[in-house]
Amino acid sequence: MLRFPLLVVLLLFAASALHAQTLTWQPQHIEQGSPVLFTLTLDRPATHITATWLGKEVGFFPANDRRIWYALAGADVEQEPTSYPISIGGIYAGGAPLNTTQEIQITAANFHSSTLSVAKAFIAPSPAAQRQMERDAAAKKRAFASSVSQPLWSGSFAAPVASRVFDNFGDNRIFNGKKVSIHRGSDFPARPGTAVHALNSGRVVLARRMFLEGNCVIIDHGNQLFSIYMHFSRLQVKAGEMVKKGQLLGLSGATGRVTGPHLHVSLRWGGENLNPAALLAMKLPETREER
């Protein structure tokens, strides 16, 4: 008398366990500083997905049929090369739970060193400059704390200027003979007055002059993804504005700590410093219809 109910329970459990979950990522080879597009493919719609990777929340968002979910994340330029699990949970339409864990390998990148010469004031800043840098740090902290919990970007990211990008992300920066920092961004050659455009749609969370960055703009693209643009000669946007991909942000220049006119672009996800040039090379999904 007990066999039939037990068989029914086992069959229901087996049917639940057979729901397919496939996680893929772009690029397939992830190294220090890599931005990463995760794609979770399900055999039936889900109502909600949560995930953590590298100790941070990963914001998945659905395609129209909710069978495919995407997340844009990344590994920091100084992330220790090893394997890290991504843990994904959620709820299928109908209420069944969804849980999966997969190991993601991060490998060492081949970074270089660069030797530069700048004004002494940027190597040994005065007390007034140090106070300004503290105010700048507080302003950036406020800006990075204000990300919306949905993607504001849509489709692949576009170059900010019509020029090649230098291969200097992750360089050890040696200023005036002394190692000062790691270069956590990408530089684009740009003559003074060159139009600088937004990499993608988002909300301007900072637009002001700072000591090291010069005239600077920070855009929130949603889900803790930010693009940062430095050394403008002139700003054309203000904090709080919504901007579209390709919109004019300002004119390039040589303000802040620079060796000459150029545009510096940085990329941050959840506090991780990512390679902007790598993001520009990625094919990304449309998240909404641009108007």
Whether residue 97 is contained in a domain is answered as yes
Whether residue 168 is contained in a domain is answered as yes
- In angstroms, the CA 177 to CA 158 distance is 35
Residue 55 falls in which region: left (phi positive, over 0), alpha (psi -120 to 50) or beta: left
Nearest 5°: phi and psi at 136?
Answer: -65, -45
* Residue 166's CATH number: 2.70.70.10
CA 228 to chain centroid: 10
Whether residue 15 is contained in a domain is answered as yes
Is there a single domain that holds both residue 123 and residue 25?
no
The structure tokens listed for 200 are: 């993608």
Q: Count of alpha carbons within 13 Å of 61, Cβ hemisphere only?
A: 18
Q: Quick one: pLDDT at residue 289? A: 59
Is there a single domain that holds both residue 275 and residue 147?
yes
Which of 73, 90, 107 is the endpoint of a domain? Answer: 107
Q: Quick one: pLDDT at residue 5? A: 40
- In angstroms, the CA 32 to CA 74 distance is 9
Q: Quick one: pLDDT at residue 7? A: 37
* Residue 90's CATH number: 2.60.40.1220
Is there a single domain that holds both residue 25 and residue 146?
no
Whether residue 286 is contained in a domain is answered as no
Which of 107, 136, 152 is the endpoint of a domain? Answer: 107
Which of 47, 78, 107 is the endpoint of a domain? Answer: 107
* CA-to-CA separations, 76 to 172, 173, 256, in angstroms, rounded: 15, 17, 24
Is there a single domain that holds both residue 177 and residue 262?
yes
Is there a single domain that holds both residue 185 and residue 205?
yes
Q: Residue-wise pLDDT tens for the chain (291 aa)?
A: 434 343 333 333 333 445 679 999 999 999 999 999 999 999 999 999 999 999 999 999 999 999 999 999 999 999 999 999 999 999 999 999 999 999 999 999 987 766 545 555 556 678 999 999 999 999 999 999 989 999 999 999 999 999 888 777 888 755 444 445 788 899 999 999 999 999 999 999 999 999 999 999 999 999 999 999 999 999 999 999 999 999 999 999 999 988 889 999 999 999 999 999 999 999 999 987 554
* Cα R_g (the chain), whole angstroms: 22
Handedness of CA 47, 58, 286, 153 (dihedral sign): positive
Is there a single domain that holds both residue 161 and residue 56?
no
The boundaries of the domain holding residue 185 are 113-280
* CA-to-CA separations, 138 to 130, 134, 144, 174, 210, in angstroms, rounded: 13, 6, 10, 26, 11
Q: Quick one: pLDDT at residue 49? A: 97
If one counts every other C-beta atom within 10 angstroms of the C-beta of residue 11, the result is: 10
- In angstroms, the CA 66 to CA 48 distance is 9
- Residue 100's identity, in one-letter code, is T
Q: Tell me which residue of 196, 243, 236 sits closest to 219, measured CA to CA.
A: 243
Is there a single domain that holds both residue 71 and residue 135?
no
Domain count, the chain: 2
